[in-house]
Amino acid sequence: MSAPIIDQAAKVFADPTSYADEPRLHAALTHLRAHAPVSLVDSRPYRPFWAITKHADIMKIERANDLFINEPRPLLATADADDMAREQLDAGMGLRTLIHMDDPQHRVVRAIGADWFRPKAMRVLKVRVDELAKVYVDKMVAAGADVSECDFVQEVAVNYPLYVIMSLLGLPESDFPRMLALTQELFGGDDDEFKRGAMLEEQLQVLLEFLGYFNTLTASRRQQPTEDLASAIANARVDGQPLSDVETTSYYVIIATAGHDTTSATIAGGLQALIENPDQRKRLSDSLDLMPLATEEMIRWVTPVKEFMRTATADTSIRGVPIAQGESVCLSYVSGNRDEEVFDHPFRFHVGRDPNKHLAFGYGVHFCLGAALARMEANSFFTELLPQLKTIELKGNPELISTTFVGGLKHLPIRYEVR
């Protein structure tokens, strides 16, 4: 295959709009998996990086967490944004979350929140998650007495996971709308519809608002500890010392942001897949016990986290392609999750898919901390919704967000009837 075609295909990584155009994206990724699974992408405004598109290579790199580390470039950002983040960190006011850290520090900091995501805590939280799933499905049902219409993303999918995460943190319900706007602006940074402003300075303002909000929260939880995750973070000790303001805020931010858009994207993209594959919807509605497999398939199908990066600590190679010390690799989960060598008919949405060794939650020491929660949320929601639906169809064109990091649908117009 000629080099220009490969270079052209690899450019999808350096173009946020490609994630809003799935046919174009998948054509390029399929081509790269077949012809250049380790491809150099040198495209402004990004610094050069290697795009890794095969499932096996992504796992191998994540497993080798001494050779491929998260610092200093954990995710794909423009050179300007990378420089600004570095300046903020050097000035002691940049966010440094679990995804920016490597072991041994990463292990210690991850342990602070880990108990809140273990099965015991999940069983307790399930009551609240089911309750919230019911609130949102009831809203759809109440509106759908006859034939009803809504933008499922904006009216249902973005709110429900945010409420779950805010409940887990222990934040007051009156703050939820503000958090919703801030997380959308922070993660929708590449999409014109959600951008606060084109300037990096204006994006910085969003970060500062986060900082202000969470610093106040830490102070209040330290003064008066409560039974929630925010309190566990505020009162954690590492080597006998409490976390700094920036460290506590970083923790809240990773939980609030990672736990929100990812799960909304899964639920919205999962519903779209069910609408577009009526046989699969019928199969799932007829046997709800398939739900754990179906949610896993929705997560693979949507792959809301598009990539994470690692940087080599020594000269090495992948599939015979030399990677020099200091060079970065971009792990394309989207591509890995359509890898023909791992998945039968990867472009088919299949609610009973088993096995389903997708990489949507990553792999290795950074494996998603909230995976069990995300699965539970999707499971509760569809278990509540499907038995109520008589008919459902698209009422307009679904629209995807432009991003190079976390994303999925931003609009899903639907028309539905309930039983």
Work out whether 381 is an interface residue with ligand HEM (CB under 6 A). no
- Footprint of ligand HEM on residues 217-256 (CB under 6 A)? 254-255
Binding residue for ligand HEM (CB under 6 A) from 367, 387, 390, 391?
367
Q: Which is nearer to ligand HEM, 205 or 313 (CB)?
A: 313
Binding residue for ligand HEM (CB under 6 A) from 165, 233, 309, 334?
165
Binding residue for ligand HEM (CB under 6 A) from 270, 362, 398, 407?
362
β-pair type (328-332, 49-52) = parallel
Q: Which is nearer to ligand HEM, 38 or 360 (CB)?
A: 360
Closest approach, Cβ 257 to ligand HEM, in A, equals: 9
Closest approach, Cβ 166 to ligand HEM, in A, equals: 10
Q: For residue 265, how many other CB atoms are within 10 A of its CB?
A: 29
Applying CB under 6 A, which part among 17-25, 262-270, 272-280, 286-294 lies near ligand HEM?
262-270
Residues 37/316, Cβ–Cβ less than 8 Å: no
Q: Which is nearer to ligand HEM, 280 or 295 (CB)?
A: 295
**From CA 222, how far away is CA 244, in angstroms rounded?**
12
Applying CB under 6 A, which part among 3-11, 218-226, 260-268, 397-405 lies near ligand HEM?
260-268
116 CB-near residues (< 8 Å, 6+ apart): 168, 229, 232
Residues linked to residue 262 through DSSP beta bridges, in sequence order? none
**From CA 308, how far away is CA 124, in angstroms rounded?**
31
Work out whether 62 is an interface residue with ligand HEM (CB under 6 A). yes
**From CA 414, how far away is CA 133, in angstroms rounded?**
18
Binding mask 304-333 for ligand HEM (x = CB under 6 A): xx--x------------------------x
Q: Which is nearer to ligand HEM, 163 or 361 (CB)?
A: 361
Q: Which is nearer to ligand HEM, 36 or 190 (CB)?
A: 190
Work out whether 366 is an interface residue with ligand HEM (CB under 6 A). yes
Binding residue for ligand HEM (CB under 6 A) from 250, 263, 280, 328?
263
Applying CB under 6 A, which part among 40-48, 198-206, 360-368, 411-419 lies near ligand HEM?
360-368
Work out whether 258 is an interface residue with ligand HEM (CB under 6 A). yes
Closest approach, Cβ 308 to ligand HEM, in A, equals: 5
Work out whether 364 is an interface residue with ligand HEM (CB under 6 A). yes
Work out whether 98 is an interface residue with ligand HEM (CB under 6 A). yes
- Footprint of ligand HEM on residues 105-124 (CB under 6 A)? 110
- Alpha-helical regions (H) of 36-158: 55-63, 79-90, 105-114, 119-143, 152
Q: For residue 142, how many other CB atoms are within 10 A of its CB?
A: 10
**Nearest by Cα to 188 from 150, 154, 229, 151:** 154
Work out whether 29 is an interface residue with ligand HEM (CB under 6 A). no
Work out whether 261 is an interface residue with ligand HEM (CB under 6 A). no
β-pair type (241-242, 307-312) = unpaired
**From CA 295, how far away is CA 281, in angstroms rounded?**
12
Over the range 315-329, which residues count as b (16 or more CB within 10 Å of their CB) and which as e? ebebeeeebeeebbb
3-state SS string over 370-399?
CHHHHHHHHHHHHHHHHHHEEEEEECCCCE
Sign of the alpha-carbon dihedral angle for 379, 331, 253, 204: negative
Residues 307/74, Cβ–Cβ less than 8 Å: no
Work out whether 274 is an interface residue with ligand HEM (CB under 6 A). no
- Footprint of ligand HEM on residues 278-307 (CB under 6 A)? 299, 304-305
Q: For residue 173, how many other CB atoms are within 10 A of its CB?
A: 9
Per the rule left: phi > 0, alpha: psi between -120 and 50, beta: everything else, 239 is left
How many residues contact ligand HEM, by CB under 6 A? 29
Work out whether 363 is an interface residue with ligand HEM (CB under 6 A). yes
Q: Which is nearer to ligand HEM, 218 or 250 (CB)?
A: 250
Binding residue for ligand HEM (CB under 6 A) from 361, 381, 382, 405?
361
Q: Which is nearer to ligand HEM, 38 or 305 (CB)?
A: 305
**From CA 213, how far away is CA 275, in angstroms rounded?**
39
DSSP percent split of the chain into helix, strand, coil, nearest 5:
55, 15, 30
Work out whether 69 is an interface residue with ligand HEM (CB under 6 A). no
Binding site for ligand HEM (CB under 6 A): 62, 98-99, 110, 165, 254-255, 258-259, 262-263, 266, 299, 304-305, 308, 333, 360-364, 366-370, 373-374
